[in-house]
Structure 1
Amino acid sequence: MNLDYLKTYSMVVELGSFSEAARRLSLSQPAVSFQIQRLESELGVRLLDRKEKAVSMTEVGKRLFRFTGVIKQEETKFMNDLDQIRNEVVGDLAIVASTIPSEFIVPPLLGEFKHLYPSTRPSVTMFDSYTAIARVQEGAYEVGFCGIIPEGLELESFKIAEDEIVLVVFLEHPFARRENISLKELEKEPLIFRNRTSGTQGSLEAMLLDKGYDLRRCSPTLVLGSTQAIVSAVEAGIGIAFVSNLAIKKSLALGMVKVVPVDELNLKRSFYCIYRKERLISRLLQEFIAFCQARASSGK
């Protein structure tokens, strides 16, 4: 049913006059009559009994009038809710993040944001970087965090944090006693990889390729789906791996792994906050993006 026609019907009933309804709605009287006729035709019933100077509702017309009252109430409630969403920092915030941001970058941000705005309800879902970008692009999530700048998409992005990919080995590995190693020495080592859709793996391969080393030529001893799984595998002595420096702080503090510098290799990379600019309709999303930008600028 056409909502405008329902509003016209409600106005005719309330005022008891087609001409008064037309004047109140800034329509011509024939336009009001046309809308009522279309509504009756669509429903297949007569809604109003028209007399010379009065209009009365049929039984079905009375039910429809009650229905229009419900619609008015719901419309008012919705508009009030919309005003609240636009003007207050409240409600749900759907966030998608790749592995490293979801485990080490986003939680501290949300802790501080929740302290500022306790009525917010953020939720974080973890995917690889490429999937996170796709989910924000298609509108399934309002904001995302990943290790790749989205290219050729209608997404806004800004750098939120920096990281370094480092080589970690288990304590019994010969490299653990070395001050540094060469890139060539890695060729025969049991390397553990992340899956190819991982932003960390993609960044690692691209940065090594810039140094003339094609990591894709290596045959990994193991391919795992998360950074934490890789760190655990290294701790267990299964192999060695390039991982995020953020992900090994605990293992380093406990003395379970060692970082080994690789000659002429500096694998710094950035993480980004991404969002669709046209989705900045809610005050909550606006404030969260502004909050993240402020934290990024301050280096916190």
Structure 2
Amino acid sequence: MNLDYLATYMELVKLGSFSEVAKRLSISQPAVSFQIRKLERDLGVRLLDRGQKAITMTDAGKRLLRFAEVVTTEEARLRSDLDRLRSEVSGNLAIIASTIPGEVILPPILGEFKALHPAVGVRVDISDSLAAIEGVRGGNYELGFCGVAPQGRDMEYFKVAEDEIVLIVFPEHPLAGRDRVVLPELEGEMLILREERSGTQKNLEALLGKAGVDIRKWSPSLVLGTSQAVVAAVEARIGIAFVSNLAIRKSLALGLVKEIPINGLRLVRSFYCVYRKERAVSRLVTEFIAFVQARASQG
């Protein structure tokens, strides 16, 4: 059944004149007559009695009018629902992140995004930076957040935040009372490091390498799997460490660790959002990328 013909029928019942309906709908009067006859043929009943002075509905016509009113209301509701669906961002977002983005940078971003789009579901798996890149490259995740820029033309990325890798010691350490230190003073210290695949470790080695220092030759050392584990080891007075300043805010505030500047050296690195270049992305991913970019541009 043609919904446009139903609308024409409703207008005819309302106005009581074929010519008036033709004017209202901007169609010809024969077109109005054709649509009504087509409805009658399709339904196998006469809908209207056409008198010289008035048009009256038959019993079948009255039933069709009630049906048409219900259909029109439901069609309007459906269109409204579909419009809302088109404008609403929904779906599930799979993200993989290295520890600092996953534990520090992403939570407030996701909180704000979820407040704007409550129908969105998000899963964040935390690993190291290389695993984040590999997870996105392999198609297991739509987005990755990590401390290493991906290599290869198949990946896109943009900077999300900047961070500084800093030296921390426990409060009773002999260096804790110093305003600053020089790198050679750290040789022979128990140095607590991240694993090789960590973005923090890769950036630390690269930045110190530019200063002529190969940290891998220092010993003794302890290697741990997360930034929080490294900070906890320093708090436990096991040794000293280079960590993200984003990872030590609470420990600094509580006086559990002490940050010591290194003379003439700042270890600054970036965090990135990464995604596959050629992968068709959903509206949800597009909206989230735009949201993160806008937030990053605000500092």
Relative to 1, partners in 2 of residues 1:220 and 1:194: Cα closer, same or farther, differing over 3 Å?
farther
Matched residue, 1:58: none
CA-CA distance at 1:259 after TM superposition: 0.2
What amino acid is the match of 1:235?
A: E
Counterpart check, 1:231 vs 2:241: no
- The structure with the larger Rg is 2
What amino acid is the match of 2:221?
A: T
| Alpha-carbon contact 1:170-1:257 (below 8 Å) kept | yes
TM-score (norm 2): 0.70
Matched residue, 2:168: 168
TM-score (norm 1): 0.70
| Alpha-carbon contact 1:181-1:262 (below 8 Å) kept | yes
What amino acid is the match of 2:238?
A: I
CA distance in structure 2 between the aligned counterparts of 1:133 and 1:104, rounded to whole angstroms: 19
CA-CA distance at 1:231 after TM superposition: 0.4
| Alpha-carbon contact 1:169-1:257 (below 8 Å) kept | yes
Counterpart check, 1:221 vs 2:221: yes
Relative to 1, partners in 2 of residues 1:181 and 1:88: Cα closer, same or farther, differing over 3 Å?
same
User: Alignment identity in percent?
Assistant: 62
Counterpart check, 1:283 vs 2:283: yes
CA distance in structure 1 between the aligned counterparts of 2:206 and 2:193, rounded to whole angstroms: 14
What amino acid is the match of 2:177?
A: R
Matched residue, 1:132: 132
Relative to 1, partners in 2 of residues 1:209 and 1:86: Cα closer, same or farther, differing over 3 Å?
farther
Relative to 1, partners in 2 of residues 1:84 and 1:138: Cα closer, same or farther, differing over 3 Å?
farther
What amino acid is the match of 2:298?
A: S
| Alpha-carbon contact 1:85-1:282 (below 8 Å) kept | no
Residues 180-223 of structure 1 show CA distances to partners (whole Å, capped at 9, x for unaligned) of 11110011111001111111001000000000011111124311
Counterpart check, 1:154 vs 2:154: yes
CA distance in structure 1 between the aligned counterparts of 2:118 and 2:136, rounded to whole angstroms: 25
Any residues of structure 2 matched to 1:242-281 within 5 Å, and which? 242-281=242-281
Matched residue, 1:194: 194
Q: RMSD of aligned C-alpha atoms?
A: 1.6
| Alpha-carbon contact 2:188-2:219 (below 8 Å) kept | no
Q: Where in structure 1 are there 5+ consecutive unaligned residues?
A: 1-82
What amino acid is the match of 2:131?
A: T
What amino acid is the match of 1:232?
A: A
Relative to 1, partners in 2 of residues 1:199 and 1:84: Cα closer, same or farther, differing over 3 Å?
farther
Q: Where in structure 2 are there 5+ consecutive unaligned residues?
A: 1-82
Counterpart check, 1:102 vs 2:129: no
Matched residue, 1:185: 185
Matched residue, 1:144: 144
What amino acid is the match of 2:152?
A: G
